[in-house]
Amino acid sequence: MPLNDLLIRKAQPASKPVRLFDGGGLYLEIAPSGGKLWRWKYRFAGKEKRLALGTYPEISLAEARKRHAESRQVLKSGIDPGEQRKVQKLTRLDRGDSSFGAIALELLTMRAKKNAKSTVVRNTRIVEKDLNPYIGERPITEISAPELLAVLRKMEKRGAVETAHRARGIASMVFRYSIATGRAKHNPAQDLIGALEPTQTEHFASLTEPAQVAPLLRAIWGYDGSTIVRAALKLAPLLFARPGELRTAKWADIDLDAREWRYTATKTETAHIVPLSKQAIEILEELKPLTKRFEYVFPSLQGKGRPMSENTLNSAMRRMGFVKEEIGKDGKVRTSSTMTAHGFRAMARTVLDEVLGFRPDYIEHQLAHAVRDPNGRAYNRTAHLVERRKMMQAWADYIDKLRAERNVVSIAGSSHEPFAGN
C-alpha cells in the first residue's frame, strides 16, 4: 500500500531499522535513533543498489516521489543514477563546493572506505582542527604556498612538528584531488616540500642478522594460535608487504594460477605486483578453504566483514616473546620491541642486499617504494618482474634454509653467493 503523510508521522523507530515501502523500490528507512531517510532500491547491470533521496521531513513524500521518478528516468536511459550523482558531485564548480574545507571533506569521505579507521580519525582531526579554521572557507584556487606555510608554522610553534608534516601531506592530497576533478590547476603544498622543520624519524623494530632472524622464524612456524593469524605471520616475512596491506589483502586480488598478488600500494597509490613463491602459494592454498567465503584473506576473528585488526600480528609477536612490556620505576608500562610486523620489510631489504646480493632497484620495487628511471619517470608495476619473481623465490628458499639451520653465521661473515645475474 502506498505511503501517506499520516502513516509516516506516526511511524516509530525500533531496535533495528524500519522500512516503509511506497512502491517501485521507493521506501522510507527509520533508524533506531529516529532519523528518517528516503531511499530507492534498484538494479543496474545485474547488481542491487540503493540511492539516498533525502531526509524526512526536509524532503516531503511528494518531493521524494518526484526524485524517485526522475531517477527512474535516468535508469531507463541506461545510466546508473548513483554513478551519475557521483559525477555531478565531482564536477560542481560553485564557490561552496570549491572551498578547501568542502573538497577536503569530500576526499576524506571517499577515502574512508579503504583507509584504516585510525587514519580516517587522525586525518579528519587535522583538517578540522589545524587547517579548516584558517583556510577551510577559502576557494581552493586562491590558496598560495606562503598562505599554507603560515598555517603550518602555527603547528610548528606549538611543537607539533610531525602534525605539521602530516597536515602538509593531507593538504597536498586535497589539492591533487582538486586538480583531478577540475577545480584547481596548481598544488601549493607540493612547493612546501623541505620548508618545514625535520621530524625525528622513528624506526620500526627489526632483526637483520640471520642469527637473530632464525629463532623468530622458527617461533612463527611453531605458533600455536589461530590458523588465520599463523598464516599471516608466515606470509609477513615471505612477502614483506606493509602490515596494513597484508592484513587487508583480498582474495579477488590474488591469482594463485598466475602466482601473483596485485593491489594498490597505500603509500604511493600505484598498482603493485607481488610475485608469489611456491611457499607463499602453499600457505594461501591451505588457508583458502577456511576464508574463501570472506572478502578478506585474513578476516577479523570478530566477523562483521572486516579484515584482521591492526595490532593482531604485533599481539602474536608479543605472545612469542619478541615484543615485551616492562614496568618502569615510575609505574608506567613501556614496550620493548625486538621486532614488529613492519620490521620484516627492513629485514628483507638488508638481507636481500647484503646476503643474497640482489640489485637495490629490484628490492625497492618489491618494497613498493617510488622508483624512477634515469629520466626521472616512475617505473610501471611490471618493471623487472621476471627478476623479481626469481628474487622472491630465492628469498623464500633462504627463509626455509634459515629456519632449518641451528648455527647461522652473521651477515659480516656470510658465505652466501650473490644471485647470478644481479
332 and 397 share one domain: yes
Scanning the structure block, which residue is given the C-alpha cell 598562505? 147
State which amino acid sits at residue 155.
M
Count of domains for the chain: 3
51 and 154 share one domain: no
Residues 6+ apart with CB under 8 A from 312: 229, 232, 247, 301
147 and 231 share one domain: no
**CATH number for position 247:** 1.10.443.10
421 is a domain residue: no
Distance CA 65, CA 375 (A): 58
**CATH number for position 64:** 3.30.160.390
329 is a domain residue: yes
Does residue 56 sit in helix, strand or coil? strand
275 and 308 share one domain: yes
* Domain that includes residue 69, residue range: 5-73
Q: Where does residue 41 rank: exposed (0-12), middle (13-18), buried (19+ CB within 10 A)? A: middle
Q: Which of 192, 225, 257 is the endpoint of a domain?
A: 192
299 and 349 share one domain: yes
Scanning the structure block, which residue is given the C-alpha cell 579528519? 124
Distance CA 328, CA 114 (A): 38
304 is a domain residue: yes
**CATH number for position 150:** 1.10.150.130
Distance CA 411, CA 290 (A): 39
Residues 6+ apart with CB under 8 A from 181: 90, 91
259 and 354 share one domain: yes
34 and 108 share one domain: no
Q: What is the pLDDT of residue 262?
A: 94
Q: DSSP string spanning 211-230?
A: HHHHHHHHHHHT--S-HHHH
50 and 117 share one domain: no
Q: What is the pLDDT of residue 32?
A: 87
198 is a domain residue: no
Q: Which of 160, 192, 224 is the endpoint of a domain?
A: 192
Q: What is the pLDDT of residue 88?
A: 58
267 and 382 share one domain: yes
Q: What is the pLDDT of residue 324?
A: 52
Catalytic positions, please? 242, 267, 342, 345, 369, 379
200 is a domain residue: no
* pLDDT under 70: residue ranges of the chain: 86-97, 199-211, 268, 303-304, 323-342, 370-383, 406-422
Q: What pLDDT, in 10s, does the model give residues 196-244?
A: 887 654 444 455 566 677 888 888 898 888 899 999 999 999 998 988 8
Q: What pLDDT, in 10s, does the model give residues 149-180?
A: 999 999 988 888 888 998 999 999 999 999 88
Residue of 298, 296, 251, 259 whose CA lies nearest to 281: 259
351 is a domain residue: yes
165 and 274 share one domain: no
Name all contacts of 14-22 with Cβ < 8 Å and 24+ positions apart.
22/61, 22/64, 22/65, 22/68
Cα torsion angle, 188, 194, 195, 201, sign = positive
50 and 142 share one domain: no
Which stretch of DSSP H or E encloses residue 271? strand 271-275
271 and 359 share one domain: yes
